[in-house]
Amino acid sequence: MINSTVAELSAALAAGDISSVEITQAYLNRIADLNGELNAFITVCEESALRQAAQADAARATGNNSPLLGIPLAHKDIFCSKDVLTTCGSRMLHNFISPYNAAVVERFNDAGAVLLGKTNMDEFAMGSSNETSFYGAVKNPWNNECVPGGSSGGSAAAVAADLCAMATGTDTGGSIRQPAAFCGVTGFKPSYGRVSRWGMIAFASSLDQAGPIAKSAEDAAIMMNTMAGLDIKDSTSIDKPVEDYTASLNKSLQGLRIGIPKQHFAKGLSAEVEQAVRNALAEYEKLGASIKEIDLPNSHLSVSAYYVVAPAEASANLSRFDGVRYGYRCEDPVDLEDMYKRTRSEGFGEEVKRRILIGTYALSAGFYDAYYRKAQKIRRLIKEDFNSAFKEVDVIVGPTSPHTAFKLGSKSDPVSMYLEDIYTIAVNLAGLPAISIPVGTANGLPMGMHIVGGDFEEAKVLNVAHQLQQNSDWHKQKPAVLASAKGEA
Query: Catalytic amino acids?
Result: 76, 151, 175
Q: Which residues contact 250 (CB under 8 A, 6 or more apart)?
A: 463, 466, 467, 470
Ramachandran category for residue 218: left, alpha or beta (phi over 0 → left; psi -120 to 50 → alpha): alpha
Q: Are 439 and 273 in contact (CB under 8 A)?
A: no
d(CA 342, CA 335): 11
Q: Are 86 and 77 in contact (CB under 8 A)?
A: yes
Strand order, beta sheet including 434-442: 41-44, 114-119, 72-76, 166-171, 209-214, 186-189, 434-442, 445-452, 395-399, 257-261, 290-294
Q: Are 98 and 82 in contact (CB under 8 A)?
A: yes
d(CA 157, CA 140): 6
180 closest CA partner among 298, 76, 287, 34: 76
Angle (CA) 266 268 270, round 5°: 95
Beta bridge partners of 261: 294
d(CA 270, CA 407): 16
